[in-house]
């Protein structure tokens, strides 16, 4: 089972929106938070051209990503990010069922470190595999992170599943051939997650934990758990 981090395990989406809003403002762009919220779940390599177009990406992309990182790291030091109920326990519950876990995030190592420090939970110690985005590597909705997580788990894509809160998680899973399970703790509506390929949708990771055996059957992992 592969997990997205931001908006799925830890409530950071609003912090990312604010960091991007601040970054754009520093270069004179007044981008509404509601517009940026629709982009959360993508990496900065996809977000900037989506907002400013390819010309804006070429002229300002690198600067905007640097400003965003600075703003997010400041937010992380000043805030205490909320960990969603059930986010820690679900890793143990899956391990008890013989299912290995992976964390796959579009954040780089520095973002990840800051997020986990603010949250007060080191999910790297709970997951069997941790995949972060390296500079220059495509981010979601490109499937690269999901594919890498599957490779590290050492299983066929169809024998894995991913839990995520955005349509971009779903799109990445679809391209990678990995079943997608949606949670409503992020910006997406249930209809949007289902359109993006979610086999089923839960309120949050805690709700998924309460119905874990059902979720595993939905993702066709039930037989793997019994092996």
CA distance 10 to 121: 9
CA distance 83 to 143: 26
Question: 157 to each of 1, 75, 131, 147, how far by Cα in Å?
Answer: 11, 36, 16, 8
CA distance 67 to 138: 19
Instruction: Give the mean pLDDT per block of 10 residues along the chain (227 residues).
Output: 97 96 98 95 92 97 96 95 98 97 92 96 97 79 94 95 97 96 95 96 98 93 45
* Per-residue tokens: 191: 């209809």
At residue 141's C-alpha, the angle toward residues 109 and 123, to 5°, is 35
Domain boundaries, the chain: 2-12+82-226, 13-78
Task: Indicate the pTM of the whole model.
Answer: 0.92
Neighbouring residues of 188: CB distance < 8 A, sequence distance ≥ 6: 165, 166, 167, 182, 196
Preceding omega of 141 cis (within 30 degrees of 0): yes
Classify 62 as helix, strand or coil. helix
Q: What is the pLDDT of residue 108?
A: 87
Q: What is the pLDDT of residue 15?
A: 95
Contact present, 177 and 206 (Cβ < 8 Å): no
Q: What is the pLDDT of residue 136?
A: 63
Greatest extent of the chain over all pairs of C-alpha atoms, in Å = 57
Residue 14: HSE in the Cβ half-sphere, 13 Å Cα cutoff: 6
Per-residue pLDDT tens digits for 38-53 = 999 888 999 999 999 9
Q: Which of these, 157, 88, 167, lies nearest to 121 by C-alpha position? A: 88
CA distance 85 to 104: 19
Residue 13: HSE in the Cβ half-sphere, 13 Å Cα cutoff: 23
CATH of 2-12+82-226, one of 3.30.160.270, 3.20.20.210, 3.40.50.1000, 1.10.340.30: 3.40.50.1000
Q: What is the pLDDT of residue 170?
A: 96
Q: What is the pLDDT of residue 134?
A: 76
Inter-helix orientation angle 144-153/167-176, to 10°: 60
Question: 227 to each of 23, 90, 194, how far by Cα in Å?
Answer: 49, 19, 29
Sign of CA dihedral 24, 27, 28, 29: negative
């Amino acid at each position: 089972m592969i997990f997205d981090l931001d908006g799925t395990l830890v409530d950071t989406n609003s912090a990312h929106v604010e960091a991007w809003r601040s970054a754009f403002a520093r270069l004179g762009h007044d981008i509404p938070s509601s517009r940026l919220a629709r982009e959360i779940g993508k990496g900065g390599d996809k977000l900037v051209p989506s907002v400013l177009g390819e010309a804006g990406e070429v002229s300002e992309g690198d600067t905007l990503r640097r400003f965003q990182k600075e703003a997010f790291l400041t937010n992380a030091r000043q805030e205490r990010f909320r960990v969603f109920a059930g986010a820690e326990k679900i890793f143990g519950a899956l391990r008890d069922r013989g299912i290995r876990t992976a964390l796959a995030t579009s954040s780089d190592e520095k973002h990840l470190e800051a997020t986990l420090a603010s949250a007060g939970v080191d999910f790297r110690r709970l997951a069997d595999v941790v995949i972060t985005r390296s500079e220059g590597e495509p981010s979601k909705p490109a499937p690269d992170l999901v594919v890498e997580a599957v490779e590290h788990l050492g299983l066929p894509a169809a024998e894995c599943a991913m839990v995520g809160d955005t349509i971009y998680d779903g799109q990445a899973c679809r391209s990678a051939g990995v079943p997608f399970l949606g949670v409503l703790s992020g910006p997406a509506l249930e209809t949007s997650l289902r359109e993006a390929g979610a086999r089923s949708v839960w309120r949050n990771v805690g709700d998924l934990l309460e119905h874990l055996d059902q979720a595993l059957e939905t993702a066709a992992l039930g037989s793997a758990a019994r092996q």
